[in-house]
Amino acid sequence: MHYLVPNEFLERYAASGTVKTQKSAGTLLALSVLAGALIALGCAATNTAVHGMDNVGLARTVSGLLFPFGLCMVIVTGAELFTGNSLLVLSLLEKKCTLPGLLRNWCLVYLGNFLGALLTAAGCVWFGQLNYSAGGLAVYTIRLAAGKCGISFLSGFGLGIFCNILVCLGVLLALSAQDAAGRLMGAFLPVCYFVLCGFEHCVANMYYISAGLLAVRNPQYLQLAQEAGVDLGALTLSGFLLGNLLPVTLGNILGGAGLGALLWYAHVKKK
């Protein structure tokens, strides 16, 4: 067979949790900074590709075709991504890891993902990557960040659930394949769906909103955004951390861990 059946790839992931939760802090941070940067580069690529498009459906489609390669690179490089690691609940249920080990992994990986995304955002802003279209990319980046900070807590939470169900399905589908092409295609399709639908991913938002917050500190970008009529009221640090990142992170955890628990119960749990 060219693929694994559900109980096989679920058990394989559960076994990997032992290694994931026992890695040194330095290794986890290094691999999670890498993952945050790779996801952020996917965000930067999609923003650049669609910033001049007026057709929302076309822009979402182009973003959906480009962004998933960020997760593909994470999987190929063995980097540590917080949203995917929500599936460590499988390892916990199979007694392949401990709760303290799981929480340690989540905390270190979340911190590293944030740092990787923030460094990428800072580089794009400070080195002039947002200068595309005479600053049009900067305006788009600021508008997108402000919009994400302005969503309600419930919307962020709900959209975060849907997002990480799809992201974790991408991780599992990639794990089910026995060759490189199958792994990449498995990761690609579910992530494409979440981007098309506009669901909320906490690590992606670490780039999107950080880039917007840093861009408004550039007087030229700020002036362009104000001239374009961008509402900057919600684009604050508290809007970022409490208005978006908190509910989206909670939703991502529930979506990924809930999917893992459901699949474990259906396919792995000893009857």
- Could you report the per-residue pLDDT of 89-139, keeping only the tens digit for each? 999 999 999 999 999 999 999 999 999 999 999 999 999 999 999 999 999
Which of the 8 DSSP states describes residue 263?
A: H
Q: Which of 195, 182, 166, 173 is nearest to 258 (CA)?
A: 166
Q: Interior CA angle at 70 toward 77 and 199, to 5°?
A: 135
* pTM (2 d.p.): 0.95
Q: What is the mean pLDDT of the chain?
A: 95
Give per-residue pLDDT as tens, 158-217: 999 999 999 999 999 999 988 888 889 999 999 999 999 999 999 999 999 999 999 999
CA torsion 193-197-200-201 (nearest 10°) is 20
Q: What is the largest CA-CA distance in the chain?
A: 64
